[in-house]
């Protein structure tokens, strides 16, 4: 597969390699506060997904094309930490390129975002509503989505302020990438792929997450009996913002430090 354009990324710090992959509607700036502490002990790679941040769009917005694009300039071996949509992409990379992924961290990520009983998830009409909103009122729709990241968190007001502050000077995501990202979330099912992984895995849940139901936690455990799980009791969809210090401690412990 030909790579249309190597990924845009920032490399910060020195030590064990850690790749951070952001979610839908944002870019790598969302990790800024986390990186300040992580980079004291690790070499952190911040990568923008195609059509977000500084990364150009790609014609084929598939998991395989995205993976090939972001792998082009990333280290040969690293701990991969993906949030939401980024968790899907990190899981795909771990399954397709296991030699590149030392350990996998899924942050509020579902291997299937769309509900399919008994698997709980987001309703398909929610994705369609967001697609309609992106087409008609992209700025308003994105602001609404950013607020959803903190909905239910015990620090909802400060979380929303932090998220918007981190992204205030960032490029606006490309509309085509927003639509394609929603389609990817709607259509992807990596449950089988996740069950086949051999590297250590950590799944992080926010107890008050309105997008990724914590009620799936036992179903996720059945897919990967050896995986580790961490529940952030005061968080919604962004525990690395709501409980930053605790998140860093959990991450470092999982990575072996």
Domain map (residue ranges) of the chain: 9-255
99: closest CA among 199, 202, 228, 201? 199
% of the chain residues with pLDDT over 70: 96
3-state secondary structure 30-78: HHHHHHHHHCCCEEEEEECCCCCCCCCCCCCCCHHHHHHHHHCCCCCCE
pLDDT of residue 8: 65
> Of 84, 110, 153, 236, which one is the catalytic site residue?
84
pLDDT (mean) for 119-130: 88
% of the chain residues with pLDDT over 90: 79
Helix (H, G, I), strand (E, B) or coil at 128: helix
Considering the domain 9-255 in this protein, what is its CATH number?
A: 3.40.50.1820
d(CA 165, CA 161): 6
pLDDT (mean) for 200-215: 95
Can 237 be counted among the known catalytic residues?
yes
pLDDT of residue 5: 52
> Of 153, 209, 236, 242, which one is the catalytic site residue?
209
Q: Is residue 190 a contact partner of residue 91, using CB atoms and an 8 Å limit?
A: yes
Asked if pLDDT for residue 229 goes beyond 90, the answer is yes
Asked if pLDDT for residue 3 goes beyond 70, the answer is no
For residue 223 the two structure tokens come to 């897919």
For residue 222 the two structure tokens come to 């059945």
Q: Is residue 93 a contact partner of residue 193, using CB atoms and an 8 Å limit?
A: no
Model pLDDT for residues 62-105, shown as the tens digit of each residue? 999 999 999 988 999 999 999 999 999 999 999 999 999 999 99
Residues 6 or more apart whose Cβ sits within 8 Å of residue 115? 121, 122, 123, 124
At 128, is the pLDDT very low, low, confident or very high (cuts 50, 70, 90)? Answer: confident
d(CA 205, CA 238): 9
239: closest CA among 204, 190, 201? 204
Asked if pLDDT for residue 2 goes beyond 70, the answer is no
- Beta 101-107 vs 201-206: how paired, if at all? parallel
Residue 196 host element (H or E): none
Strand segments (E) across the chain: 9-12, 16-21, 42-47, 78-83, 101-107, 201-206, 228-232
pTM of model > 0.85: yes
């Amino acid at each position: 597969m030909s790579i249309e354009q190597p990924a845009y990324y920032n490399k910060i710090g020195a030590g064990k390699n850690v790749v951070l992959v952001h979610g839908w509607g944002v870019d790598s700036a969302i990790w800024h506060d986390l990186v300040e502490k992580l980079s004291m002990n690790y070499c952190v790679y911040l990568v923008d997904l195609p059509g977000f941040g500084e990364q150009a769009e790609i014609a084929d917005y598939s998991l395989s094309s995205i993976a090939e694009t972001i792998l082009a300039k990333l280290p040969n071996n690293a701990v991969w930490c993906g949030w939401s949509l980024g968790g899907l992409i990190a899981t795909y990379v771990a399954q397709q390129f296991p030699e590149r992924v030392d350990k996998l961290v899924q942050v509020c990520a579902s291997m299937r975002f769309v509900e399919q009983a008994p698997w709980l998830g987001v309703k398909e009409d929610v994705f369609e509503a967001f697609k309609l909103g992106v087409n008609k009122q992209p700025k308003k729709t994105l602001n609404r989505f950013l607020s959803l990241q903190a909905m239910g968190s015990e620090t909802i007001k400060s979380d929303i302020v932090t998220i918007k502050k981190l992204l205030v000077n960032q490029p606006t995501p490309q509309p085509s990438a927003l639509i394609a990202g929603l389609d990817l979330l709607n259509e992807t099912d990596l449950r089988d792929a996740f069950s086949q992984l051999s590297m250590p895995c950590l799944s992080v849940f926010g107890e008050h997450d309105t997008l990724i139901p914590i009620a799936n936690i036992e179903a996720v455990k059945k897919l990967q009996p050896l995986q580790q799980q961490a529940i952030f009791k005061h968080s919604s969809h962004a525990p690395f913002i709501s409980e930053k210090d605790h998140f860093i401690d959990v991450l470092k412990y999982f990575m072996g430090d």
